[in-house]
Amino acid sequence: MHVGRSYGLFEFLHWTRRRIYAVAAGAILVTGLYQLAGWHWLSLPWPVLALLGTAASFIVGFKNSQSYGRTVEAQQIWSSITAASRYWGLVCRDYPANTDVTQELVTKHLAWLAAVRYELRAPRIWEAAGTAPNLEYRERSFDVEERRFPLETELAAYLAPDTVTALLAGGSVAAALMALQSRTLHDLFASQNLQLLQYADMQKTLKDLIEQHARAQRIKNFPYPRQYAIINSLFVWLFALLLPLAMVKEFAGLAAPGFMHGQMGWLAVPFSVLIAWMYLALDQVGESTENPFEGSANDVPITWMSRTIEQELRALLGLPTRPSAAPDGHILM
């Protein structure tokens, strides 16, 4: 997540430059054939471009709206996980009489947070984080902790080596950790170290955390519908590549004195690039926003949120805290 004032203009232009190159090449080709080769038939009437541009505007707006909605929902999910984690720390401190059990329950919860964020940051084939512009920007501007260190190393900070090995040998590490938490609560209740209402309250908190995890998995594993994604990109690129066919005729028909006489058609190149870039940039922004856990600059900062939760819970129990995740430049992961 970008936590600076805004992306810089040149930074944004550099990120989108590949699309600028493509539309500039198309505009130069069309204008050159019109101006130099005399292919005056190489043009389109404005109503055709207007209809295509209107359709592209609607579908780009729809995609960006849906992408933003997915990001907002992801933020809400992790806000709920943060609230439930704080409550979990309080009840773990106040309910069990054994402080060693309190620390065990909180430490397993921190391990669960780590397992969840590693699961959410695992790459998917439809995500945009692996595209050339986003990879280049990540290498230049920020780092993703979950790509640098394996899950085994992160879990070793919370759990015993044999527990880590057993968890990694199974299926979902996060689900297995929740099963361990539930078993610990059951044993505490069976040994009368938890009262019935306390046991029920702590199990309900686990249930809330599991529900939020499932909501995050839905966003991670179910992408923006591919049929809408391809239609969006197709319409936008069609509009961008056909735009010079309408603009060159309009500019060529303008009267101009001096050295620009008969050369006004070349103005179609910069104006076509500018207008097409507006559509293509919106499309690229929507593409890079629709998956809020992919490890891109527009992600929900789940690593920072996990570290913040960890600091709060450790402080609550009087334990040493780990360094928090500081922004890498203006990007907070």
- pLDDT tens for the chain, 333 residues long, are 877 777 888 888 888 999 999 999 999 998 888 888 888 887 888 888 888 888 888 888 888 888 889 999 999 999 999 999 999 999 999 898 777 788 899 999 999 999 999 999 998 898 888 888 888 888 888 888 888 888 899 999 888 899 889 888 878 899 999 999 999 999 999 988 889 999 999 999 999 999 999 999 999 999 888 888 888 888 899 999 999 998 888 877 776 666 666 677 788 899 999 999 999 998 888 888 889 998 888 888 999 999 999 999 988 888 777 666 666 668 887
> Is the CB of residue 307 less than 8 Å from the CB of residue 325?
yes
pLDDT for residue 136: 87
Backbone dihedral angles phi then psi of residue 99, each to the nearest 5 degrees: -70, -30
Non-local (6+) Cβ contacts of 143 within 8 A are: 328, 333
Cβ neighbour number for residue 233 with a 10 Å cutoff:
18
The residue written with tokens 């309910």 in the block is 95
* Sequence letter at residue 252: A
User: Could you report how far apart the first and last alpha carbons of the chain are, in Å?
Assistant: 6
Question: What radius of gyration, in Å, describes the C-alpha atoms of the chain?
Answer: 27
Helices (H), the chain: 9-15, 17-35, 46-94, 99-120, 132-141, 145-148, 151-155, 161-169, 173-190, 196-221, 226-252, 268-289, 302-317
pLDDT for residue 255: 62
Non-local (6+) Cβ contacts of 43 within 8 A are: 34, 245, 246, 248, 249
